[in-house]
Structure 1
Amino acid sequence: MPSSSPASAIPTAALTGLVLAGGRGQRMGGVDKGLQHLHGQPLAAHVLARLAPQVSALAISANRNHDVYAELGAPWYAQVIADTLPDYPGPLAGLLAGLRVAGTEWLLSAPCDSPWLPADLGARLAAAVRAQNTLIATATTVNAAGEVSLHPVFALVHTSLAGDLAAFLDAGERKVRAWYARHTAAEVVFADERAFYNVNSLQELAELDRA
Protein backbone atom coordinates (compact mmCIF):
# COMPACT_ATOMS: atom_id res chain seq x y z
CA MET A 1 0.00 0.00 0.00
CA PRO A 2 1.32 3.47 -0.81
CA SER A 3 2.70 5.86 1.76
CA SER A 4 0.57 8.70 2.98
CA SER A 5 0.27 11.94 1.03
CA PRO A 6 2.03 15.10 2.23
CA ALA A 7 -1.40 16.40 3.32
CA SER A 8 -1.67 13.73 5.99
CA ALA A 9 -0.37 14.64 9.43
CA ILE A 10 -0.01 10.94 10.33
CA PRO A 11 1.87 8.48 8.09
CA THR A 12 -0.06 5.68 6.41
CA ALA A 13 2.20 3.25 8.26
CA ALA A 14 0.52 4.31 11.52
CA LEU A 15 -3.01 3.47 10.31
CA THR A 16 -4.94 0.18 10.25
CA GLY A 17 -8.20 0.15 8.31
CA LEU A 18 -11.29 -1.57 9.71
CA VAL A 19 -14.38 -2.52 7.71
CA LEU A 20 -17.37 -2.86 10.05
CA ALA A 21 -19.41 -5.81 8.77
CA GLY A 22 -20.60 -7.39 12.00
CA GLY A 23 -24.24 -6.27 12.09
CA ARG A 24 -27.42 -8.29 11.89
CA GLY A 25 -28.50 -6.71 8.60
CA GLN A 26 -32.02 -6.30 9.99
CA ARG A 27 -33.07 -3.69 7.44
CA MET A 28 -32.01 -6.12 4.73
CA GLY A 29 -34.03 -9.00 6.15
CA GLY A 30 -31.20 -10.46 8.18
CA VAL A 31 -28.75 -11.09 5.33
CA ASP A 32 -25.05 -10.44 5.77
CA LYS A 33 -24.97 -6.92 4.37
CA GLY A 34 -21.29 -6.77 3.53
CA LEU A 35 -21.60 -9.76 1.19
CA GLN A 36 -24.48 -8.39 -0.90
CA HIS A 37 -23.34 -7.52 -4.40
CA LEU A 38 -23.13 -4.14 -6.11
CA HIS A 39 -21.85 -4.10 -9.70
CA GLY A 40 -20.57 -7.65 -9.39
CA GLN A 41 -18.65 -7.21 -6.12
CA PRO A 42 -19.69 -7.56 -2.46
CA LEU A 43 -20.27 -4.24 -0.74
CA ALA A 44 -17.42 -4.96 1.67
CA ALA A 45 -15.06 -5.44 -1.28
CA HIS A 46 -15.82 -1.92 -2.50
CA VAL A 47 -15.01 -0.56 0.96
CA LEU A 48 -11.81 -2.58 1.25
CA ALA A 49 -10.63 -1.27 -2.11
CA ARG A 50 -11.29 2.32 -1.00
CA LEU A 51 -9.56 1.92 2.37
CA ALA A 52 -6.53 -0.07 1.19
CA PRO A 53 -4.53 2.85 -0.27
CA GLN A 54 -5.11 4.88 2.89
CA VAL A 55 -3.71 2.44 5.47
CA SER A 56 -0.86 -0.01 6.08
CA ALA A 57 -3.02 -2.96 7.16
CA LEU A 58 -6.68 -4.00 7.01
CA ALA A 59 -9.12 -5.89 9.20
CA ILE A 60 -12.75 -6.90 8.74
CA SER A 61 -15.11 -7.00 11.71
CA ALA A 62 -17.60 -9.82 11.01
CA ASN A 63 -19.71 -12.11 13.17
CA ARG A 64 -20.55 -14.71 10.51
CA ASN A 65 -19.24 -16.03 7.19
CA HIS A 66 -15.63 -15.60 8.30
CA ASP A 67 -14.31 -17.85 5.54
CA VAL A 68 -16.02 -15.75 2.88
CA TYR A 69 -14.69 -12.52 4.35
CA ALA A 70 -11.20 -14.03 4.61
CA GLU A 71 -11.26 -14.75 0.88
CA LEU A 72 -12.59 -11.26 0.25
CA GLY A 73 -9.74 -9.68 2.19
CA ALA A 74 -7.04 -11.95 0.77
CA PRO A 75 -5.77 -9.48 -1.86
CA TRP A 76 -4.90 -7.11 0.99
CA TYR A 77 -4.23 -9.81 3.60
CA ALA A 78 -7.02 -8.43 5.76
CA GLN A 79 -7.60 -10.34 8.97
CA VAL A 80 -11.17 -11.19 9.98
CA ILE A 81 -12.13 -10.57 13.59
CA ALA A 82 -15.31 -11.16 15.60
CA ASP A 83 -16.92 -9.25 18.45
CA THR A 84 -15.91 -10.41 21.91
CA LEU A 85 -19.40 -9.51 23.16
CA PRO A 86 -22.45 -11.67 22.32
CA ASP A 87 -25.70 -10.85 20.50
CA TYR A 88 -24.51 -8.29 17.96
CA PRO A 89 -24.01 -5.36 20.35
CA GLY A 90 -23.37 -2.82 17.59
CA PRO A 91 -20.51 -1.01 15.85
CA LEU A 92 -18.65 -0.12 19.03
CA ALA A 93 -18.02 -3.81 19.67
CA GLY A 94 -16.51 -4.13 16.22
CA LEU A 95 -14.44 -1.02 16.82
CA LEU A 96 -13.16 -2.48 20.09
CA ALA A 97 -12.12 -5.71 18.37
CA GLY A 98 -10.28 -3.63 15.77
CA LEU A 99 -8.52 -1.50 18.39
CA ARG A 100 -7.33 -4.64 20.15
CA VAL A 101 -5.81 -6.31 17.10
CA ALA A 102 -4.41 -3.26 15.32
CA GLY A 103 -0.65 -3.27 15.21
CA THR A 104 -0.59 0.46 14.55
CA GLU A 105 -1.17 3.60 16.58
CA TRP A 106 -4.43 4.52 14.85
CA LEU A 107 -7.54 2.71 13.55
CA LEU A 108 -9.52 4.07 10.58
CA SER A 109 -13.04 2.60 10.48
CA ALA A 110 -15.78 2.58 7.86
CA PRO A 111 -19.06 0.64 7.50
CA CYS A 112 -19.33 -2.16 4.98
CA ASP A 113 -22.33 -0.60 3.20
CA SER A 114 -20.70 2.65 2.01
CA PRO A 115 -19.03 1.79 -1.29
CA TRP A 116 -18.02 5.36 -2.21
CA LEU A 117 -16.21 6.48 0.94
CA PRO A 118 -13.72 9.34 0.37
CA ALA A 119 -10.26 8.55 -0.96
CA ASP A 120 -8.90 11.18 1.45
CA LEU A 121 -10.85 10.03 4.53
CA GLY A 122 -7.76 8.91 6.41
CA ALA A 123 -5.63 11.91 5.46
CA ARG A 124 -8.25 14.46 6.47
CA LEU A 125 -9.16 12.78 9.76
CA ALA A 126 -5.47 12.37 10.54
CA ALA A 127 -4.83 16.05 9.89
CA ALA A 128 -7.72 16.92 12.23
CA VAL A 129 -6.51 14.87 15.21
CA ARG A 130 -3.06 16.42 14.88
CA ALA A 131 -4.37 19.97 14.47
CA GLN A 132 -6.84 19.69 17.36
CA ASN A 133 -4.75 17.36 19.55
CA THR A 134 -7.49 14.77 19.90
CA LEU A 135 -7.61 10.96 19.97
CA ILE A 136 -10.75 10.69 17.80
CA ALA A 137 -11.89 12.30 14.57
CA THR A 138 -15.18 11.67 12.77
CA ALA A 139 -16.81 12.77 9.53
CA THR A 140 -19.76 15.10 8.93
CA THR A 141 -21.40 16.52 5.81
CA VAL A 142 -23.41 19.68 5.19
CA ASN A 143 -25.94 19.82 2.36
CA ALA A 144 -26.97 22.81 0.24
CA ALA A 145 -29.63 23.75 2.79
CA GLY A 146 -27.03 23.88 5.54
CA GLU A 147 -28.28 20.71 7.23
CA VAL A 148 -25.57 18.78 9.04
CA SER A 149 -25.36 14.97 8.88
CA LEU A 150 -23.12 13.06 11.27
CA HIS A 151 -21.30 9.91 10.16
CA PRO A 152 -19.83 8.64 13.43
CA VAL A 153 -18.63 5.21 12.29
CA PHE A 154 -16.37 6.85 9.71
CA ALA A 155 -13.75 7.51 12.32
CA LEU A 156 -10.09 7.64 13.19
CA VAL A 157 -9.47 6.40 16.74
CA HIS A 158 -6.26 6.07 18.73
CA THR A 159 -5.66 2.50 19.85
CA SER A 160 -4.87 3.63 23.41
CA LEU A 161 -8.64 4.08 23.89
CA ALA A 162 -9.34 0.33 23.75
CA GLY A 163 -9.48 -0.01 27.53
CA ASP A 164 -11.86 2.90 27.96
CA LEU A 165 -14.14 1.56 25.23
CA ALA A 166 -14.15 -1.90 26.83
CA ALA A 167 -15.24 -0.39 30.15
CA PHE A 168 -17.96 1.61 28.40
CA LEU A 169 -19.35 -1.52 26.75
CA ASP A 170 -19.04 -3.57 29.94
CA ALA A 171 -21.28 -0.97 31.60
CA GLY A 172 -24.00 -1.83 29.07
CA GLU A 173 -23.53 1.28 26.96
CA ARG A 174 -23.86 0.95 23.17
CA LYS A 175 -24.23 4.41 21.59
CA VAL A 176 -21.31 5.51 19.46
CA ARG A 177 -21.74 9.24 20.00
CA ALA A 178 -22.14 8.74 23.77
CA TRP A 179 -18.71 7.13 23.87
CA TYR A 180 -17.18 9.89 21.75
CA ALA A 181 -18.65 12.41 24.21
CA ARG A 182 -16.35 10.99 26.89
CA HIS A 183 -13.45 12.31 24.85
CA THR A 184 -12.67 15.33 22.71
CA ALA A 185 -13.49 14.30 19.13
CA ALA A 186 -12.62 16.38 16.09
CA GLU A 187 -15.34 16.66 13.44
CA VAL A 188 -14.26 17.01 9.83
CA VAL A 189 -16.72 18.41 7.28
CA PHE A 190 -16.74 16.74 3.85
CA ALA A 191 -18.50 18.35 0.91
CA ASP A 192 -19.55 15.19 -0.93
CA GLU A 193 -22.61 13.66 0.73
CA ARG A 194 -22.66 10.80 -1.76
CA ALA A 195 -19.29 9.58 -0.47
CA PHE A 196 -21.00 8.65 2.81
CA TYR A 197 -24.11 7.09 1.27
CA ASN A 198 -24.97 3.79 2.93
CA VAL A 199 -27.18 1.09 1.47
CA ASN A 200 -30.05 0.22 3.79
CA SER A 201 -32.29 -2.22 1.92
CA LEU A 202 -32.14 -4.90 -0.75
CA GLN A 203 -34.47 -2.82 -2.91
CA GLU A 204 -32.12 0.16 -2.63
CA LEU A 205 -29.21 -2.07 -3.54
CA ALA A 206 -31.02 -3.48 -6.58
CA GLU A 207 -31.81 0.03 -7.80
CA LEU A 208 -28.17 1.08 -7.41
CA ASP A 209 -27.02 -2.04 -9.20
CA ARG A 210 -29.24 -1.21 -12.18
CA ALA A 211 -28.07 2.41 -12.32
Structure 2
Amino acid sequence: MSGAGFNRLAGVVLAGGQGSRMGGQDKGLLSFREAPMISWTLQQIRPVVDQLIISCNRNEHLYARFGETLVGDRKAGFSGPLAGIEAALAELDADVSHLLVLPCDTPLVSQQVLGMLVRHARLYPGHIVFLKTGAREHYLHAIIPACHRTALEQWLAAGQGAVGRWYRQLPHVALDVSRECDCLLNFNTPELLAVG
Protein backbone atom coordinates (compact mmCIF):
# COMPACT_ATOMS: atom_id res chain seq x y z
CA MET A 1 0.00 0.00 0.00
CA SER A 2 1.43 3.39 -0.93
CA GLY A 3 1.33 6.37 1.40
CA ALA A 4 -0.34 8.55 -1.24
CA GLY A 5 -3.99 8.44 -0.15
CA PHE A 6 -6.24 8.53 2.87
CA ASN A 7 -8.95 5.89 2.61
CA ARG A 8 -10.54 4.15 5.59
CA LEU A 9 -9.38 4.81 9.14
CA ALA A 10 -8.91 2.21 11.86
CA GLY A 11 -8.27 2.93 15.51
CA VAL A 12 -6.36 1.23 18.30
CA VAL A 13 -6.69 1.94 22.00
CA LEU A 14 -3.48 0.96 23.75
CA ALA A 15 -4.22 -0.92 26.99
CA GLY A 16 -1.30 -3.33 26.98
CA GLY A 17 1.01 -1.57 29.38
CA GLN A 18 2.43 -2.77 32.65
CA GLY A 19 0.76 -0.05 34.71
CA SER A 20 3.90 0.45 36.78
CA ARG A 21 2.80 3.88 38.08
CA MET A 22 -0.48 2.26 39.12
CA GLY A 23 1.16 -0.51 41.13
CA GLY A 24 0.92 -2.97 38.24
CA GLN A 25 -2.84 -2.60 37.82
CA ASP A 26 -4.42 -2.76 34.37
CA LYS A 27 -5.15 0.95 33.77
CA GLY A 28 -7.81 0.47 31.15
CA LEU A 29 -9.99 -1.46 33.59
CA LEU A 30 -9.62 0.92 36.54
CA SER A 31 -12.75 2.84 37.45
CA PHE A 32 -13.00 6.43 36.24
CA ARG A 33 -16.27 8.22 36.94
CA GLU A 34 -17.98 4.89 37.67
CA ALA A 35 -16.92 3.12 34.45
CA PRO A 36 -13.75 1.40 33.23
CA MET A 37 -11.31 4.07 32.06
CA ILE A 38 -11.04 2.55 28.58
CA SER A 39 -14.81 2.82 28.06
CA TRP A 40 -14.54 6.62 27.93
CA THR A 41 -11.87 6.49 25.22
CA LEU A 42 -13.83 3.89 23.24
CA GLN A 43 -16.93 6.09 23.39
CA GLN A 44 -15.03 8.97 21.76
CA ILE A 45 -13.12 6.99 19.12
CA ARG A 46 -15.95 4.73 17.84
CA PRO A 47 -17.73 7.39 15.71
CA VAL A 48 -14.42 8.43 14.13
CA VAL A 49 -13.09 5.07 12.85
CA ASP A 50 -14.21 2.29 10.53
CA GLN A 51 -12.44 -0.52 12.42
CA LEU A 52 -11.56 -0.56 16.12
CA ILE A 53 -8.90 -2.60 17.92
CA ILE A 54 -7.92 -2.86 21.58
CA SER A 55 -4.29 -3.71 22.31
CA CYS A 56 -4.10 -5.61 25.60
CA ASN A 57 -1.64 -8.12 27.08
CA ARG A 58 -3.76 -9.45 29.94
CA ASN A 59 -7.38 -9.65 31.09
CA GLU A 60 -8.52 -10.41 27.55
CA HIS A 61 -11.77 -11.88 28.89
CA LEU A 62 -12.60 -8.50 30.46
CA TYR A 63 -11.65 -6.47 27.39
CA ALA A 64 -13.70 -8.83 25.19
CA ARG A 65 -16.90 -7.43 26.70
CA PHE A 66 -16.34 -4.17 24.81
CA GLY A 67 -16.99 -6.07 21.56
CA GLU A 68 -13.90 -4.98 19.63
CA THR A 69 -11.03 -6.89 18.04
CA LEU A 70 -8.31 -7.67 20.60
CA VAL A 71 -4.59 -7.94 19.85
CA GLY A 72 -1.57 -8.59 22.05
CA ASP A 73 2.10 -7.82 21.55
CA ARG A 74 3.74 -10.27 19.17
CA LYS A 75 6.60 -10.68 21.67
CA ALA A 76 5.83 -11.96 25.17
CA GLY A 77 5.83 -9.49 28.02
CA PHE A 78 5.20 -5.78 28.07
CA SER A 79 7.17 -4.49 25.09
CA GLY A 80 5.93 -0.91 25.04
CA PRO A 81 3.43 1.07 22.97
CA LEU A 82 5.11 0.51 19.61
CA ALA A 83 4.58 -3.24 20.04
CA GLY A 84 0.86 -2.61 20.49
CA ILE A 85 0.82 -0.40 17.42
CA GLU A 86 2.68 -3.09 15.45
CA ALA A 87 0.10 -5.71 16.48
CA ALA A 88 -2.75 -3.40 15.45
CA LEU A 89 -1.18 -2.61 12.06
CA ALA A 90 -0.96 -6.36 11.39
CA GLU A 91 -4.70 -6.68 12.06
CA LEU A 92 -5.98 -3.92 9.75
CA ASP A 93 -8.62 -4.56 7.11
CA ALA A 94 -7.12 -4.54 3.60
CA ASP A 95 -8.69 -1.20 2.63
CA VAL A 96 -7.59 0.68 5.75
CA SER A 97 -4.93 3.27 4.95
CA HIS A 98 -4.35 4.83 8.38
CA LEU A 99 -4.40 3.92 12.07
CA LEU A 100 -5.55 6.31 14.80
CA VAL A 101 -3.66 5.58 18.03
CA LEU A 102 -4.91 6.51 21.51
CA PRO A 103 -3.82 5.46 25.00
CA CYS A 104 -6.41 4.06 27.38
CA ASP A 105 -5.49 6.51 30.15
CA THR A 106 -6.69 9.77 28.58
CA PRO A 107 -10.44 9.33 29.13
CA LEU A 108 -11.20 13.03 28.59
CA VAL A 109 -10.08 12.99 24.95
CA SER A 110 -12.79 14.61 22.84
CA GLN A 111 -14.28 13.87 19.44
CA GLN A 112 -13.54 17.49 18.56
CA VAL A 113 -9.79 16.95 19.03
CA LEU A 114 -9.94 13.60 17.22
CA GLY A 115 -11.72 15.32 14.33
CA MET A 116 -8.97 17.95 14.18
CA LEU A 117 -6.36 15.18 14.11
CA VAL A 118 -8.15 13.34 11.29
CA ARG A 119 -8.51 16.51 9.21
CA HIS A 120 -4.80 17.25 9.64
CA ALA A 121 -3.86 13.69 8.69
CA ARG A 122 -5.90 14.03 5.49
CA LEU A 123 -3.73 17.04 4.58
CA TYR A 124 -0.55 14.98 5.16
CA PRO A 125 -1.55 11.42 4.18
CA GLY A 126 2.02 10.09 3.97
CA HIS A 127 3.04 11.54 7.35
CA ILE A 128 2.69 10.37 10.91
CA VAL A 129 0.57 13.09 12.52
CA PHE A 130 0.61 13.48 16.30
CA LEU A 131 -0.71 16.01 18.77
CA LYS A 132 1.25 18.48 20.84
CA THR A 133 0.37 21.13 23.41
CA GLY A 134 3.00 23.84 23.29
CA ALA A 135 6.38 22.13 23.64
CA ARG A 136 4.88 18.86 24.94
CA GLU A 137 4.46 16.16 22.31
CA HIS A 138 1.72 13.55 22.71
CA TYR A 139 3.11 10.71 20.62
CA LEU A 140 0.32 8.28 21.53
CA HIS A 141 -2.37 10.59 20.16
CA ALA A 142 -1.46 10.02 16.54
CA ILE A 143 -2.47 8.83 13.11
CA ILE A 144 0.00 6.50 11.41
CA PRO A 145 -0.13 5.53 7.72
CA ALA A 146 -0.49 1.77 7.39
CA CYS A 147 2.29 1.83 4.80
CA HIS A 148 4.78 2.37 7.66
CA ARG A 149 4.15 -1.11 9.09
CA THR A 150 7.35 -2.59 7.63
CA ALA A 151 9.42 0.32 8.93
CA LEU A 152 8.00 -0.27 12.41
CA GLU A 153 8.70 -4.01 12.26
CA GLN A 154 12.30 -3.26 11.29
CA TRP A 155 12.64 -0.67 14.06
CA LEU A 156 11.42 -3.12 16.70
CA ALA A 157 13.51 -5.99 15.29
CA ALA A 158 16.58 -3.75 15.72
CA GLY A 159 15.78 -3.50 19.43
CA GLN A 160 14.49 0.06 19.29
CA GLY A 161 11.43 1.13 21.24
CA ALA A 162 11.24 4.92 21.57
CA VAL A 163 8.07 6.22 19.92
CA GLY A 164 9.30 9.76 19.19
CA ARG A 165 12.60 8.53 17.78
CA TRP A 166 10.77 6.18 15.40
CA TYR A 167 8.45 8.97 14.24
CA ARG A 168 11.47 11.12 13.45
CA GLN A 169 12.83 8.43 11.10
CA LEU A 170 9.79 9.00 8.88
CA PRO A 171 7.80 11.94 7.50
CA HIS A 172 5.94 13.42 10.47
CA VAL A 173 4.08 16.53 11.52
CA ALA A 174 2.72 17.72 14.87
CA LEU A 175 -0.64 19.42 15.34
CA ASP A 176 -0.74 21.92 18.21
CA VAL A 177 -3.97 21.65 20.20
CA SER A 178 -2.91 23.80 23.16
CA ARG A 179 -6.43 25.17 23.61
CA GLU A 180 -7.66 21.62 24.18
CA CYS A 181 -4.84 20.47 26.47
CA ASP A 182 -7.11 19.41 29.35
CA CYS A 183 -8.56 16.62 27.24
CA LEU A 184 -5.11 15.04 26.86
CA LEU A 185 -4.47 14.67 30.59
CA ASN A 186 -3.05 11.23 31.40
CA PHE A 187 -4.65 9.60 34.43
CA ASN A 188 -1.66 7.36 35.02
CA THR A 189 -1.14 7.65 38.79
CA PRO A 190 -3.49 6.81 41.68
CA GLU A 191 -3.41 10.48 42.76
CA LEU A 192 -4.60 11.76 39.38
CA LEU A 193 -7.26 9.07 39.14
CA ALA A 194 -8.57 9.97 42.59
CA VAL A 195 -9.23 13.60 41.61
CA GLY A 196 -10.45 12.79 38.08
TM over 0.5, shorter chain: yes
Partner residue in 2 for 1:106: 98
Partner SS state of residue 101, structure 1: coil
Partner residue in 2 for 1:66: 60
Partner SS state of residue 24, structure 1: coil
Q: Extract unaligned runs of 5+ from structure 1.
A: 1-8, 143-147
Q: How many residues align?
A: 189
- Of the candidates 112, 120, 124, which is equivalent to residue 120 of structure 1? 112
Q: Does 1:84 align with 2:74?
A: yes
CA shift, 1:149, in A, is: 1.2
**Could you report, residue by residue, the CA deviation over 1:57-87 in whole angstroms, capped at 9, with x for unpaired residues?**
211000000010010x22xxx1111000222
Partner SS state of residue 191, structure 2: helix
Q: Does 1:150 align with 2:137?
A: yes
CA shift, 1:133, in A, is: 4.9
Partner residue in 2 for 1:20: 14
**Could you report, residue by residue, the CA deviation over 1:149-182 in whole angstroms, capped at 9, with x for unpaired residues?**
1100101011111111011001000000110011
- Percent identity over paired residues: 31
Letter in 1 for 2:74: T
Partner SS state of residue 80, structure 1: strand
Partner residue in 1 for 2:131: 139
Partner residue in 1 for 2:45: 51
Q: Does 1:186 align with 2:173?
A: yes
- TM-score under structure 2 normalisation? 0.91
Q: Does 1:163 align with 2:150?
A: yes
Q: Aligned partners of 1:49, 1:181: CA distance in 2, in Å?
A: 30
Letter in 2 for 1:23: G
- TM-score under structure 1 normalisation? 0.85
Describe the shift of the 1:160–1:200 C-alpha distance in structure 2 as closer, same or farther (beyond 3 A): same
Q: Aligned partners of 1:179, 1:119: CA distance in 2, in Å?
A: 27
Q: Aligned partners of 1:55, 1:33: CA distance in 2, in Å?
A: 23
Describe the shift of the 1:130–1:50 C-alpha distance in structure 2 as closer, same or farther (beyond 3 A): closer
**Could you report, residue by residue, the CA deviation over 1:25-74 in whole angstroms, capped at 9, with x for unpaired residues?**
00000000100001111111110001011111211000000010010x22
Q: Aligned partners of 1:178, 1:200: CA distance in 2, in Å?
A: 22
Provide the aligned C-alpha RMSD in A: 1.5
Q: Aligned partners of 1:48, 1:129: CA distance in 2, in Å?
A: 20
CA shift, 1:192, in A, is: 1.0
Q: Aligned partners of 1:110, 1:85: CA distance in 2, in Å?
A: 21
Q: Aligned partners of 1:32, 1:115: CA distance in 2, in Å?
A: 14
Q: Extract unaligned runs of 5+ from structure 2.
A: none
CA shift, 1:184, in A, is: 1.2
**Could you report, residue by residue, the CA deviation over 1:177-208 in whole angstroms, capped at 9, with x for unpaired residues?**
11001111111111211110011212321222
Q: Aligned partners of 1:155, 1:51: CA distance in 2, in Å?
A: 12
CA shift, 1:125, in A, is: 2.6
Partner SS state of residue 192, structure 1: helix
